[in-house]
Structure 1
């Protein structure tokens, strides 16, 4: 297991979120399991992890449930009909209130978009699965560690916790600006 994977798994476990190595045989998809996704689930292995944050929590499904989580994005959830506008090399690997984090399998990048619009136009959000998981765990850690005083009377995140989050995201994302932008994106 790589040091990055071990660190992310430890962070998720410390938040009380289950993780375990998941074999490629758990994949239920109609397409081949991308190698980086196979490695991520073997090494980090989130098992339906819910990470609290400002707004809706982040959700990282288990490998066994990952393919069914494509419903509503890749295909219609009731009819099963393939939906137009969804690229063949996109896989939803996490979400926040149905807003998808999308693995672009050709590049390994994680894209993000809001659901319910007029089609999909996701923007790059993370360099890879590991950066995404480490960042989402960071949101969960700051949220859970802050306690009840994380929100101000107007329901915005208290500035000291935003600054803590940005400071902890900076080494993960490689720059303070990217950390600030990510905090903004998710309502911090």
Structure 2
């Protein structure tokens, strides 16, 4: 599947408008020139045609996932590769890591050094002393689909008691689970547990 297929699939299960419209070719040219790097094809397509017009927040268990707007995409990543208080770069951030989202300050990146058509998406824990990035999706499209599906299960299927925390464990309610878990088995593939680890009934 390509990113367009994933966006169309998102539209098939949610009426939420995530503003996937892109920042245009001028934004991509600006980022490419500033970084002096060729972006992987899929991430280039994401920047030009699908990065949201406004930052989008996807509900998760705990902190929401903040998908940056096209206008926030930058090589200056405050708190990650740059300290704005001391006005100096932060070491231990690889120059090929490009931040495009975070979850409670946990960075979500693509590594521009990787070749290929698709861009593996990685996440790391913030404040752990060093960055230990682990993959959570094989492509931008898969990442957007998983984030959108989890958001839909938590906000768009039942009105209350989405999560049940009792003697039987920390569980997603039956209606949401009956939709989300099979959906993730089909589309999240090997990242099923990475997205659903919080739920005892997954």
Residue number in structure 1 paired with 2:49: 43
Residue number in structure 2 paired with 1:151: 163
Residue number in structure 2 paired with 1:180: 193
Question: What is the TM-score of this pair, normalised by structure 2?
Answer: 0.77
> Which of 91, 101, 108 in structure 1 is aligned with 2:98?
91
Query: Quick one: structure 1 residues 81 and 9, their matched pair in 2 at CA, closer, same or farther if it must change by over 3 Å?
Result: farther
Gaps of 5+ in 1: none
Residue 128 of structure 1: how far off its partner (Å): 1.6
RMSD in angstroms over aligned alpha carbons? 2.7
Structure 1's consecutive aligned runs of 4 or more residues displaced over 4 angstroms after TM superposition are: none
Paired residues for 1:1-188 under 5 Å = 3-7=4-8, 10=11, 14-26=15-27, 29=31, 30-31=34-35, 32=37, 34=39, 35-47=41-53, 48-67=55-74, 70-107=77-114, 108-145=119-156, 146-153=158-165, 156-160=170-174, 161-162=176-177, 164-175=179-190, 178-184=191-197, 187-188=198-199
1:49-96 CA distance string (max 9 Å, x none): 111122111111112211177211111133342211111110111111
Bigger share in helix: 1
Bigger share in strand: 2
1:96-144 CA distance string (max 9 Å, x none): 1111111111222111111011111111221121111111111111111
Query: Quick one: structure 1 residues 46 and 5, their matched pair in 2 at CA, closer, same or farther if it must change by over 3 Å?
Result: farther
The alignment of Structure 1 onto Structure 2 pairs a total of residues equal to 184
| Greater Cα radius of gyration, structure 1 or 2 | 2
Question: What is the TM-score of this pair, normalised by structure 1?
Answer: 0.82
Residue 41 of structure 1: how far off its partner (Å): 2.6
